[in-house]
Chain A
Amino acid sequence: MSQATSEAPVSTFAAPRFPIRRMLRHRSFVIGAAGLGLIVILAAAAPLITWHDPYAQDLMNRRIPPIWYAWFWDHPSAGWHHPLGTDNLGRDYWARLVYGARISLLIGFSATLVSGLIGTFLGVAAGYFGGRVDLVISFIITTRLAMPVILVALATVALLNSTLLVITMVLGLLLWDRFAVVMRSATMQARSQEYVTAAKAIGCSTPRIILTEILPNVAAAFTVIATIEMATAVLYEAALSFLGLGVQPPLPSWGLMLAEAKEDIFFSPWMITLPGIALFVLLLSINLLGDGIRDLSAPGGRS
């Protein structure tokens, strides 16, 4: 395994390692990319694919069930005007789901960006310099791991303010541990390669070596962790919102929609089913994409 890694043409992996054909043959990569792509398109084109305002209440038309209630059970109020029905305030469920995707994606992506920056900085520093730097950073990582994420996130968001920015920053500041751990070992591995020794020998400066030799070679590992962490951030945002301390009403977060639908669990079970499915599909897509990238970027490549 380690032999294969050291012999692979690491510095030029970007082009030959991701041939389109191999990517298209990889089933979980294709399914994951398609699922995530679909959700991104729906979120971006939200105003085009729904004619409803996700905030507009219609108290005369509350808790209308989705269209298939008209098909199978002849439900009188279900119809095409509200294809996925309405919530307990008469707001169109499809519109709220589509606009909710924006929040999940925005927080998931930005929080991963923040945690990726912190984790990569710490991990690369620990892995490249080793010694005392590594000792201190490893201690910081251990401390972070000892703190229960969901609890600290809940408390911090409650103490500060439940704005999107605060939620993103809190999640970003808490979820960098996996980046740091993986970047640290990837950097350690890259540091002992001959091209780094060569760069040192010809007198390259440390920042230059890190930027041009180390970072490109830990990029694949970064991408894999980024997918895992994006899924985690999306999940935590939904959990915080579900517990009432994340995204605040009337914003359409999927976790918040689940919390609001909880009251109607006995009579309108579809109301908890739909946001849950949306969340499940998004998380599944991101995870599948991550699995695909991991397989495709592995030296030998797996089927």
Chain B
Amino acid sequence: MLVFALKRFVVGILVMLAVSTITFTLTNVAADPARTIAGEGASAADVEAIREAYGFDRPIIVRYGEWLGGALRADLGDSYRQRRPVVDVVMERLPVTMSLGGLAFAIAILAAIPLGIIAGLRPNSWIDRASLTFALIGQAMPTFWFALLGIVVFSVTLKWLPVSGSSSLSHFVLPAVVLAYYATPTLMRLTRAGMIEVMQSDYIRTAKAKGLRTGKIVLKHALRNAILPLVSVAAVQFGFMLGGSVVVETIFAMRGVGYLAWESITYSDLPVVQAIVLTIAAIYVVLTLAADIMNAWLDPRLRSN
């Protein structure tokens, strides 16, 4: 178990290293950072001056090493736009995004698991068809369109919820629901499929034959096994939601990391963009690592490979 966890940990570190290399290369080779800082109307001499002042004239490998060394000491440079440490800029935006992601994730789980269980217990019933349709609509509904429709209905017409901002709990309701609906279909379909498979297994038949009540069979015997694949997918989905928050936070003007990402990309504030990509990748790596270890703990068969 410890060896398994250690191996996964090392892979996680290597993935982070690879992500940082790609991010750094992309932001330094695909674009000329000196030109980006100088702005559109700058003269060639200005660009050269900036290139020397910031040290962009040195080889990329040296700069990458420096940047990586800084990253290990939680120093990712200064924001071009705000002229203060990138880490501070990103960190102060993290709470909004984490609350939004956490709330959306809770809503998604609370909707997906009960629906998936009920649908999986009675395949082809009306409730199964209704939940599958609900999932199908969710998969085809672009987040940004759903968000706009939500604003039209709940903020403009009914005036129940605020249009934009992130200062109170009511500001989080609509964005969280929008983000949750994006993640619900996958989780629901997976619970349903797991449930259908488990309910046909021998040990459930045995439990039924022993005369156990359906509620007890489902909760004590079926759910535990049906939900196994959900753990790792849920981790992946949470990562997707952090990515999806770029769209949702921008629409609702919530002061989170997603909105910051969009602002920084529009203003070519590359150090901030690098830092956000790294942060989201790190969260994803930690989550999948946790999910792997949790799965191995739940299912000893997984530890061997």
Closest to A269 in B: B152
> At the interface, yes or no: B244 with Cβ under 8 Å from chain A?
yes
* A145-B236, A147-B22, A280-B142 as given contacts; A258 in contact with B246, CB under 8 Å: no
Among B148, B149, B243, which residue has its beta carbon within 8 angstroms of that of A149? B243
* Residues A148 and B30 in contact, CB atoms below 8 Å apart: no
Measured in the bound complex, the distance between the Cα atoms of B22 and A145 in whole Å is 13
> At the interface, yes or no: B273 with Cβ under 8 Å from chain A?
yes
* Residues B261 and A151 in contact, CB atoms below 8 Å apart: yes
Shortest A251–chain B CB gap in Å is: 18
By a CB distance below 8 angstroms, the chain A residues around B277 are 147-148, 151-152, 155
Interface residues of A, count at CB 8 A: 41
Measured in the bound complex, the distance between the Cα atoms of B265 and A197 in whole Å is 52
**Chain B 228-260, CB within 8 Å of chain A: the 1/0 string?**
000000001001001110110010000000000
Among B145, B266, B284, which residue has its beta carbon within 8 angstroms of that of A272? B145
* Residues B140 and A287 in contact, CB atoms below 8 Å apart: yes
By a CB distance below 8 angstroms, the chain B residues around A151 are 243, 246, 261, 273, 276-277, 280
* Residues B15 and A150 in contact, CB atoms below 8 Å apart: no
Shortest A33–chain B CB gap in Å is: 15
By a CB distance below 8 angstroms, the chain B residues around A48 are none
* Residues B156 and A143 in contact, CB atoms below 8 Å apart: no
By a CB distance below 8 angstroms, the chain B residues around A220 are none
Measured in the bound complex, the distance between the Cα atoms of B188 and A264 in whole Å is 35
Interface residues of A in 252-303 (CB under 8 A from B): 255, 258, 262, 265-266, 269, 272-273, 275-276, 279-280, 283-284, 287-288
**Chain A 202-216, CB within 8 Å of chain B: the 1/0 string?**
000000000000000
> At the interface, yes or no: A244 with Cβ under 8 Å from chain B?
yes
* Residues A139 and B145 in contact, CB atoms below 8 Å apart: no
Measured in the bound complex, the distance between the Cα atoms of B284 and A15 in whole Å is 43
By a CB distance below 8 angstroms, the chain B residues around A142 are 11, 15
> At the interface, yes or no: A242 with Cβ under 8 Å from chain B?
yes
Among A235, A239, A284, which residue has its beta carbon within 8 angstroms of that of B136? A284
Measured in the bound complex, the distance between the Cα atoms of B285 and A275 in whole Å is 36
Interface residues of B in 12-70 (CB under 8 A from A): 14-16, 18-19, 22-23, 26-27, 30-31
Total number of A-B contacts with CB less than 8 angstroms?
Answer: 127
**Chain A 147-172, CB within 8 Å of chain B: the 1/0 string?**
11111101110111000000000000
> At the interface, yes or no: B262 with Cβ under 8 Å from chain A?
yes
By a CB distance below 8 angstroms, the chain A residues around B23 are 147, 152
> At the interface, yes or no: A20 with Cβ under 8 Å from chain B?
no
* A258-B148, A280-B142 as given contacts; A158 in contact with B26, CB under 8 Å: no
Measured in the bound complex, the distance between the Cα atoms of B23 and A287 in whole Å is 32
Shortest B197–chain A CB gap in Å is: 10
* Residues A147 and B140 in contact, CB atoms below 8 Å apart: no
Chain A at the B interface: SS class? helix
* Residues A243 and B250 in contact, CB atoms below 8 Å apart: yes
* Residues B265 and A272 in contact, CB atoms below 8 Å apart: no
> At the interface, yes or no: B118 with Cβ under 8 Å from chain A?
no
Shortest A188–chain B CB gap in Å is: 13
> At the interface, yes or no: A226 with Cβ under 8 Å from chain B?
no
Interface residues of B in 81-109 (CB under 8 A from A): none
By a CB distance below 8 angstroms, the chain A residues around B295 are none
> At the interface, yes or no: A60 with Cβ under 8 Å from chain B?
no
> At the interface, yes or no: B9 with Cβ under 8 Å from chain A?
no
> At the interface, yes or no: A146 with Cβ under 8 Å from chain B?
yes
Shortest B170–chain A CB gap in Å is: 19
**Chain B 268-290, CB within 8 Å of chain A: the 1/0 string?**
10000100110011001100100
Interface residues of A in 158-198 (CB under 8 A from B): 158-160
* Residues A146 and B140 in contact, CB atoms below 8 Å apart: no
Shortest B259–chain A CB gap in Å is: 11
* A151-B276, A155-B27, A258-B148 as given contacts; A279 in contact with B142, CB under 8 Å: yes
> At the interface, yes or no: B144 with Cβ under 8 Å from chain A?
yes
> At the interface, yes or no: B291 with Cβ under 8 Å from chain A?
no
Shortest A118–chain B CB gap in Å is: 15
By a CB distance below 8 angstroms, the chain A residues around B11 are 139, 142
> At the interface, yes or no: A114 with Cβ under 8 Å from chain B?
no
21 A–B pairs (Cβ distance < 8 Å), ordered by A: A139-B11, A143-B18, A146-B16, A146-B19, A146-B285, A147-B19, A147-B281, A148-B277, A150-B246, A152-B23, A154-B262, A158-B268, A243-B246, A243-B262, A255-B142, A258-B145, A258-B148, A262-B148, A265-B151, A273-B149, A276-B142
- 5 smallest A-B Cβ distances: which pairs? A148-B243, A276-B145, A284-B140, A283-B140, A159-B31
Given contacts A235-B142, A272-B149, A279-B142, 19 further A-B contacts (CB under 8 A): A142-B11, A143-B18, A143-B19, A146-B15, A146-B16, A146-B281, A148-B242, A149-B243, A151-B246, A155-B27, A159-B30, A160-B30, A160-B31, A239-B247, A243-B262, A276-B149, A280-B140, A280-B145, A283-B142
Q: Interface on A for B, CB 8 Å cutoff?
A: 139, 142-143, 145-152, 154-156, 158-160, 231, 235, 238-239, 242-245, 255, 258, 262, 265-266, 269, 272-273, 275-276, 279-280, 283-284, 287-288
